[in-house]
Amino acid sequence: MHNPTTDDSGYAWPTCSACGRELWHTELGRQACRPCESRTATRLAELPALFAQLNTTASLMRGARRPGAATSGSRVPPIPPRLEVLSLVAAGGVATRLRDIEDAWRAELQWAIAPWRGSPTEAVPGHVAFLLNNLPWAADGYESVDQDVEDIRRLHAECTAALPGDRKPGHVHVGLCPAVLDDRPCCAQLTASAASHRIRCGSCGTEWVGMDAWRGLRRAQEGTASPVRSTAAIG
């Protein structure tokens, strides 16, 4: 429960159920305040593009090994799988969590349950469209909207955090850091920029400077794609 302020008469001024802020006069009667509604709308609107990027990353992780692929230096380096990416794009991930919210809103509105929207890739934009269309209703009058505002915030944050590295223009992903720390590869996403001969891992600080070093990096990354059993883990 939030702790609304009380005046001398003991009257509690209504607050936003999502962020706890006192509602403005023009917001009275609403469940969630307008800023919460608009932040949620922005996050929802960004989810389809985030999901598409995660899907691309996940397919690189799944299709890491392509026997017979060209051996030229331009081929995509293998990307070791990362569980958080694979689970966000799979059943039970983003699409399922959005569907659960849509189903709850439909139940409250006494509408038919959500139609089958296909694979997660097909379903995410459909769920997002439904939720964006009905967000004004939910923010206005749906009693459990605070949970959904929080779920959408968390989902957006998980998708953003799972996306590899730096997405600024001019930087390209060049695979994961192969430097070994505590017997485990660092695996932070590395990025290269046309403006620099230096690739520096933002996580462990390892650097590769110049083409020879970059070729060594590529060889080391390919080494991490074939499992090397650590004797330290046995016993």
Binding site for Zn ion (CB under 5 A): 16, 18-19, 33, 36, 177, 179, 186, 188, 201, 203-204
* Shortest spacing between CB 201 and Zn ion, in angstroms: 3
CA torsion sign for 104, 105, 110, 112 is: negative
* Shortest spacing between CB 217 and Zn ion, in angstroms: 11
Give the tokens for residue 76: 């995509």
Give CA–CA dist 171/103, Å, rounded. 40
* Shortest spacing between CB 145 and Zn ion, in angstroms: 10
* Shortest spacing between CB 189 and Zn ion, in angstroms: 9
134/191 with CB nearer Zn ion: 191
69/209 with CB nearer Zn ion: 209
162/217 with CB nearer Zn ion: 217
* Shortest spacing between CB 30 and Zn ion, in angstroms: 9
Q: Which amino acid, one-letter code, is at 109?
A: L
Give CA–CA dist 210/213, Å, rounded. 5
97/200 with CB nearer Zn ion: 200
138/177 with CB nearer Zn ion: 177
